[in-house]
Homo-oligomer: A and B are copies of this chain.
Amino acid sequence: MTERAVTEADLNRGFMALADPVRRHLIARLSRGPATVNELAEPFPISTQAISKHIQVLEQAGLVARTREAQRRPVHLVPERLEAMTAWIDRYRLVKESQFRNLDRLLDQDSTPGRDRAPDTRRRPS
């Protein structure tokens, strides 16, 4: 079924697509079923053209697809790319707190012999 590998560019476009709140709302709406551009645009205070552009962004990210229904172009969700994105995140989100604890040791073996621990002199907020 054309299981093309997810590229870096796919992740760029995928995460960029989800970085916009309008597009996240569109995803949420489409998770309840397909909708046309006008239907999707209705709740938003921006123009239909802007929504159309958002849908193009989602489509190029592989998150949605469009079909043809008379004059309308119903949009529906394509969940596979979302799965690939969670798969990416899940590789890195399972980090143990102990890695933070290893901080001093990791830095010590680098170059500096400073055994005395650093005082908590974080930069003063301006």
Contacts and interface: CB of A to CB of B under 8 A. Distances in A.
A70 interface: yes
A12 interface: yes
B93 A89 contact: no
A4 to B, nearest CB: 18
A100 B34 contact: yes
Which among A42, A45, A46, A103 has the highest number of chain B CB atoms within 10 Å? Answer: A103
Contacts of A8: 21, 24
Interface residues of A, number: 69
Which among A24, A88, A94 has the highest number of chain B CB atoms within 10 Å? Answer: A24
Interface string A79-104: 10011011011111111000110111
Interface in A30-49: 30-36, 39, 42-46
Interface of A: 8, 11-16, 18-22, 24-25, 27-36, 39, 42-46, 67-70, 72, 74, 76-77, 79, 82-83, 85-86, 88-95, 99-100, 102-104, 106-107, 112-115, 117-123
